[in-house]
Chains A and B, each alone.
Chain A
Amino acid sequence: MTVRAVETWTLEPLTTYVTEAGARLVLLMTPAGQVLAQSGFSRAVDVMAASALGAAIVASTNELARLMHQPPFAGLSHQGQRNGIFLSAFETDRGRLTVLVVYELDASSLGLVQLFLEQLVADLRAASPKAGAPKQVLAADFERELNDSLNSLFGR
C-alpha cells in the first residue's frame, strides 16, 4: 500500500503504521480537514469527502466533550460487520492532527490499530517541524495550492 504525502515528514511514520496495523485506508489531516498524507485512496473525491467527514466527526465529538465539561475525546471507534473506522486526534509541534483509519476485520482489529497508533503518534511527534507563524491564505493561491496538494496525494 503506497503512502502519499503533502508534507514529507509524515511519510515514514505513516508507511510504518500502515504496514504494522494492517490498515486499508489512512488519512492524516488537520482538524480543519486539510490532508497531510493518505494511504489506500485511489480517487481525489474520496479523500476530500473522507477528510471533510472525519473533521466534522472530530469537531462534533469535541463539542460533545465540551458540553460534558470533559477534555476532547482521544479516540473514536465505529465497527461494522466487515470494516472498522477509528479516528483519533493528538498534538504535535505541527499543531493538532487527526488520523482516520479504516481497517478490515479479517486483516486487522481495533486492538492492533490502537496499539500501533501509539507508535505512530510518537514517530510523528519526533518528526514534526516546529509550528511557524500561520501563513496567510490568499484566494489567488488557494486553488493552485489545492491542486498541488491533490497532485502530491495521488502521485501525479
Chain B
Amino acid sequence: MSAASPMGRALDLITRVRGVRGAMVVSRADGLIVAEQLMEGIKGGAVAALASSLAGRLQRAMVSAGLGPSQFWHLQCDHGALLVVPAGAAATLLLVAVTEADVNVGLVRLELLRAAETAG
C-alpha cells in the first residue's frame, strides 16, 4: 500500500505513534486485509479474520443491549493490546491497531478516529 494513497496515509497516522506495532484496514464483511503496515511476526491475516468476526459479534451484543453500534474497542492483553475503530461508509471497514502493553491508548484512539475519517 502506497503511503500516498488515502489508506496508506491513514495507516501512517496510526503507526507513527510510539508503541504501535502495526495497523491494518480490514474489510468488515469478509475479514480480509485491505491495507496493512505491520511489523514482522504479526500474523495479519489471522488478526484481520478474527477481529472482523469479533466485530460482528460485538455489534450484535451492543445493538441487543440497546447501546447502538460500537465506536471503539480496546482489548488489553498481557503483552499488548488490540484497538479497533469502525471506518468507511456504513462502517464497512475496520481500522485495527496492534500495540505494545504500555502504549498511550488515548493517543492511538485519537489517531484511529482521525484515520477513520481519512479512510471514509
Contacts and interface: CB of A to CB of B under 8 A. Distances in A.
Contact of A105 (B29, B32, B45, B48): B29
Nearest to B32: A111
Contacts of A79: 30
Specify the main secondary structure of chain A where it touches its partner. mixed
A62 interface: no
Kindly state the interface size class of chain B when it binds its partner. Answer: 10 to 19
Interface stretch (B3-11, B49-57, B73-81, B112-120): B49-57
Interface in A68-114: 79, 84, 105-106, 108-112, 114
A59 interface: no
Contact of B29 (A22, A109, A115): A109
A112 B50 contact: yes
Interface residues of A, number: 12
A111 B45 CA distance: 7
A93 B13 CA distance: 48
Given A115-B45, A115-B46, A110 B32 contact: yes
Contacts of A105: 29
Nearest to B51: A111
B31 interface: yes
Contacts of B27: 111
Interface in B5-36: 26-27, 29-32
A39 to B, nearest CB: 19
A115 B49 contact: yes
B75 to A, nearest CB: 17
B46 A109 contact: no
Nearest to A109: B31
A133 to B, nearest CB: 39
Interface of B: 26-27, 29-32, 45-46, 48-50, 52-53, 56
5 contacts: A79-B30, A109-B53, A111-B53, A112-B53, A115-B46
Given A109-B31, A110-B30, 10 more contacts: A105-B29, A108-B53, A109-B49, A109-B52, A110-B31, A111-B31, A111-B45, A112-B53, A114-B32, A115-B46
